[in-house]
Amino acid sequence: QDHEFLIETMASETAATEFLFTSESVNEGHPDKICDQVSDAVLDACISQDPTSRVACETCTKTGMIMIFGEITTTATVNYEQVIRDTIKHIGYDDAAKGLDYKSVNVIVAIEEQSPDIAQGVDSTSVEGIGAGDQGIMFGYATDETPSLMPLSHNLATALGSRLTYVRKQNTLNWVRPDGKTQVTVQYTLENGVPVPQRVHTIVISTQHNEDVSQEQIQEDLKEHVIRAVVPEQYLDENTIYHLNPSGRFVIGGPHGDAGLTGRKIIIDSYGGWGAHGGGAFSGKDATKVDRSAAYAARWVAKSLVAAGLCRRVLVQLSYAIGVPYPLSVFVDSYGTAVGKTDEDLARIVNENFDLRPGCIVRDLNLRRPIMAKTACYGHFGREDEDFTWEVPKPLNVN
């Protein structure tokens, strides 16, 4: 009887180490992503002329209309309407039948200057003395389950969306339109606190398409030109489930299908549901806004810890108060994967190796450059691009 109990207990513990986790992504033609890209295009246009520009630019869009609104203080001379139309054109919205036309869309600009009350709390004569642009909490995450130290479920969902855009713009699949969403469920085992991918359980793709393509061709083309080009073969098997355009019809898309707004895809922008999120969006915010710069720094810290072999998986939290340079708190959780050190040790190492004052983050990551537009779709983290300085692990002094 004791032996049977032991076998049952071992079986339940083994079962408990297996789980499914799902991440989603959206294409650059998704209404919310249009808005993220427009907000960051406006930011880059300001920064390219005046690197000290203060920008908080929101965007919203619906059928035949797009509006930017917010606070911008800059010496730059920017043709906002042209920036907006060029961004929409680049995405691929050149016909009202697709949901938006860059040539005829009604553009509304409602921009004011930053409040002087905020400015006096942030401004400083030295980089080190710059205060945080607002209060808030930011998280960074890293895991050794992929070479980019990002979660596999998030990487695959993001890569599928990027591939959908590629086959559209390359005219490999001429029936694909700009709007689309992807979702990937991965089966994991949890081994000593580390998620280890086993297989892809389910793939969902919903892509906007023209009137002429059949559902059969959509499914065949998505498997051949999108899924097989992205998902490593070892993760796919005969039991992998596919839901490809499961609604059956997706001709009306873009802002014609749904309204869009900046900052509504913050999980897609970060870690696909892994780790944690402080709630602050990234796009349209200059680097004095810690919602963005400190989230980048937190990823830099987390990736550096894992890359140094100090832990296999880690979550880092930072917190700030408006006008105060130093973070109020630094929290580290290695999920029990730290190697020869405690989480308290890791937090000390972070404090000794990183200056997490907003001005120092901007300086060390070289954030006052017009590089933000390309972060606005397909993820802010895990990218192989030299401008993504927060993806380059910092060598750590761990003595």
Which position among 265, 277, 299, 380 bears the catalytic label? 265
Helix (H, G, I), strand (E, B) or coil at 60: strand
What CA–CA distance (Å, rounded) separates 284 from 292? 9
Angstrom CA distances, 135 to 113, 191, 314, 322, 339, stand at: 20, 37, 23, 5, 33
For 372, counting Cβ atoms within 10 Å of its Cβ (0-12 exposed, 13-18 middle, 19+ buried), the class is: buried
Which position among 71, 81, 101, 343 bears the catalytic label? 71
Give the position of tokens 């083994």: 14
What CA–CA distance (Å, rounded) separates 202 from 181? 14
Which position among 163, 177, 209, 264 bears the catalytic label? 264
Is 30 a residue of the active site? yes
**What is the sign of the dihedral through the CA atoms of 378, 383, 387 and 393?**
positive
Which position among 54, 154, 177, 285 bears the catalytic label? 285
* 263: nearest Cα among 104, 69, 93: 69
Which position among 54, 168, 181, 380 bears the catalytic label? 181
Do the bridges between strand 136-143 and strand 176-191 make them parallel or antiparallel, or are there none, so unpaired?
Answer: unpaired
Which position among 21, 139, 250, 354 bears the catalytic label? 250
Which position among 96, 119, 229, 259 bears the catalytic label? 259
Is 223 a residue of the active site? no
Is 71 a residue of the active site? yes
Give the position of tokens 């393509």: 213
Which position among 94, 128, 258, 387 bears the catalytic label? 258
Is 5 a residue of the active site? no
Return the DSSP state at 372.
-
Largest CA distance in the chain: 81
Which position among 21, 24, 28, 33 bears the catalytic label? 33
Amino acid at 376: A
Angstrom CA distances, 284 to 119, 165, 180, 300, stand at: 17, 23, 22, 21
Which position among 21, 30, 221, 256 bears the catalytic label? 30
Backbone angles phi, psi at 81, to 5 degrees: -60, -40
Give the position of tokens 């890791």: 346
Is 98 a residue of the active site? no
Which position among 28, 32, 145, 179 bears the catalytic label? 32
- Both structure tokens of 264: 């509504």
Which position among 36, 44, 291, 391 bears the catalytic label? 291
CA 385 to chain centre: 14
Query: CA-based Rg of the chain, rounded to a whole angstrom?
Result: 22
Is 169 a residue of the active site? no
Is 312 a residue of the active site? no
Helix (H), strand (E) counts: the chain: 12, 13
Which position among 209, 289, 303, 380 bears the catalytic label? 289
Is 62 a residue of the active site? no
Catalytic residue annotation: 30, 32-33, 58, 71, 181, 250, 258-259, 264-265, 285, 289, 291
